[in-house]
Amino acid sequence: MGKDLTFGVIVATRGFFPAWLATEGRQQVLGKLDEMGYDYVIPPADATPNGAIETYEDARKCARLFRERKDDIDGIIVVLPNFGDEQGVADTIAMADLGVPVLVQACDDDLDKLDLDHRRDAFCGKLSVCNNFHQRGIKFTNTTLHTCPIESEEFAADVDFFGRVCRVVRGVSTARLGAVGQRPDPFHTVRFSEKLLQAAGISVSVVDLSEIIFAARDMEDSEDVERRIADIHDYGRVPDEIPEFSVRKAAKLYLAIEAWVEEHDLDATAIQCWSSVQENYGCGTCFAMSMMGEKGKPSACETDVMGALTMYALHLATGEPSGYLDWNNNYADERGKCICIHCSNYPKGFFGAEPEISNLDILGASLGAERCFGAVKGRVAPGPMTYAKISTDDANGRIRFYVGEGEFTDDPAETLGGVAVCRVPELQGLMDFICREGYEHHVAMNRGHSARVLTEALGKYLGWEAHHHAPGGA
């Protein structure tokens, strides 16, 4: 996962503790960030005594620099090499007023170095910093251990986690989503509030499906079209019985959708994937949605804009492509497993083997196979996964979400489309929660475990109502 993040760094100190600890702590944290590939903003070493923050004047200097670099800073890391000055730290963050996540670290003392020349007391100082944050309403992320060495593996893991949180917060709070076409008429489940999203900083651009269809229909054959046809064949196995004109149609449709996405600088899309595009143009949208997802531009089925946002949040948390599925079938009498399916638009990275790109099965049976090329079909490979769904609760004026972790299994399931057999801890309780709270049948999934990241980013920092479904948890 790329480290395309920049942290503001505050190294705190308190005058009657050894000053050399602050100097050493500054060198260590900057070295750790360099090693992990992150950029950082910190006042020059000679801007304050020992290159650290203690007094109000120190805080003013640091806050001024942070404000100047506001557009660059994704989060703030506070390091306490000794007790630190809690007022200096809190003043800096309050005056900078960046509204970004904050990570608080404190260094271990050594049992044989508790004399006046070496003692840190950061164990205690951290409590004072966090108390001041609480008083001022400053949200922060704690390290896994109350104290730990800056050069430890534990701190490196905390910085990685924090970086993912920052990436989700910044990406989601400024997300640009696209809705291509209207929702299927019966699907009241995908209705949402654009106004609630806009209030959270998230914008939605819309386009009538006819504009995309006519752009594809009027597209001349070209080198771009030929390259996209080649992309389709490279992306998966196209059965011999699929006619060349179907593949060409799919290539042009993808180019038309992609052009609109690029024109509006969108992060994710939701597309009216049936049945107008099949009836009025003659192919499916699934391949375009799959490949955009593989490239980090997720695309949700059935014009489910909130699904697209959820897919994007999961992608930001892991750097991996997200898929969009239905909670679809029980798995015999194994109540901790279920089958999740779509037609499908899963990204190639979801599959354990080369996917098949062919006709939509259910729609093809009713509309004609010749109108339904483009489904990316196969079996989802086993491994850890995270599931999530963000939803607008319009009646109560809130954005909410649930998230949890499970795994894709290799249990057999002979059925159509994109197939995932999932094991989810306390699945029956989750289904009861979804029914009781009125969530949708759609769910976004992503390889790897990132539920804690989403809960921290969306729940704590964006303030959305969170339900982290976990064994023994709420």
Classified as helix, coil or strand, 285 is coil
Output the CA–CA distances (angstroms, integers) from residue 263 to 11, 228, 326, in the order listed: 43, 19, 30
The torsion angles phi and psi of 440, rounded to 5 degrees, stand at: -80, 170
User: Which are the contacts of 22, defined by CB distance < 8 A and separation ≥ 6?
Assistant: 11, 12, 13, 50, 51, 52, 81, 82
The residue ranges of every structural domain in the chain are 6-173, 176-469
Tokens describing residue 120: 């840190």
Could you identify the residue written with the tokens 């489904």?
Answer: 375
Output the CA–CA distances (angstroms, integers) from residue 108 to 112, 188, 395, in the order listed: 12, 54, 49
The answer to which of 2-6, 249-253, 272-276, 397-401 has the lowest mean pLDDT is: 2-6
Arithmetic mean of pLDDT over the chain: 97
Average pLDDT over residues 410-436: 97
| pLDDT tens digits along 30-64 | 999 999 999 999 999 999 999 999 999 999 999 99
Using the predicted structure, report yes or no on whether residue 265 has a pLDDT greater than 80.
Answer: yes
Average pLDDT over residues 344-365: 96
For residues 72 and 159, what is the distance between their CA atoms, to the nearest angstrom?
A: 17
Confidence band for 117, pLDDT divided at 50, 70 and 90: confident
Query: CB atoms < 10 A from the CB of 233, how many?
Result: 11
Length of the chain: 474
Classified as helix, coil or strand, 89 is helix
Is 3.10.20.600 the CATH classification of the domain at 6-173?
Answer: no
| pLDDT tens digits along 371-418 | 999 999 999 999 999 999 999 999 999 999 999 999 999 999 999 999
Q: Which residues pair with 387 in a beta bridge?
A: 404, 445
Give percent of the chain with pLDDT exceeding 70: 99
Bond into 222 cis (ω within 30): no
Average pLDDT over residues 337-359: 96
pLDDT at residue 1 in the model:
56
Classified as helix, coil or strand, 90 is helix
Using the predicted structure, report yes or no on whether residue 14 has a pLDDT greater than 80.
Answer: yes
Using the predicted structure, report yes or no on whether residue 473 has a pLDDT greater than 70.
Answer: no
Average pLDDT over residues 285-296: 98
Kindly tell me the number of DSSP H helices and DSSP E strands found in the chain. Answer: 15, 18
- Asked if residues 99 and 138 have their Cβ atoms less than 8 Å apart, the reply is no
Fold of 176-469: L-fucose Isomerase; Chain A, domain 2 (3.40.275)
Confidence band for 471, pLDDT divided at 50, 70 and 90: confident
| pLDDT tens digits along 95-112 | 999 999 999 999 999 999
User: Which are the contacts of 68, defined by CB distance < 8 A and separation ≥ 6?
Assistant: none
Output the CA–CA distances (angstroms, integers) from residue 395 to 112, 198, 443, in the order listed: 60, 16, 21
Does residue 118 or residue 466 have the better pLDDT?
Answer: 466
pLDDT at residue 116 in the model:
83
pLDDT at residue 474 in the model:
44
Q: How many CA atoms lie within 13 A of 94 on its CB side?
A: 15
| pLDDT tens digits along 143-192 | 999 999 999 999 999 999 999 999 999 999 999 999 999 999 999 999 99
Provide the strand spans (E) within 380-428.
383-393, 398-409, 418-423
Could you identify the residue written with the tokens 């180019």?
Answer: 255
DSSP state string for 306-369 = HHHHHHHHHHHHHSS-EEEEEEEEEETTEEEEEEEEESS---GGGBSSPPEEEE-HHHHHHH-G
Using the predicted structure, report yes or no on whether residue 134 has a pLDDT greater than 80.
Answer: yes
Q: Which residues pair with 378 in a beta bridge?
A: 418
Using the predicted structure, report yes or no on whether residue 2 has a pLDDT greater than 60.
Answer: no
Average pLDDT over residues 264-278: 98
| pLDDT tens digits along 204-247 | 999 999 999 999 999 999 999 999 999 999 999 999 999 999 99
- 221 burial via Cβ count (<10 Å: 0-12, 13-18, 19+): exposed
Element (H, E) at 288: helix 286-294
Minimal CA–CA distance to 87: which of 27, 128, 115, 35?
128
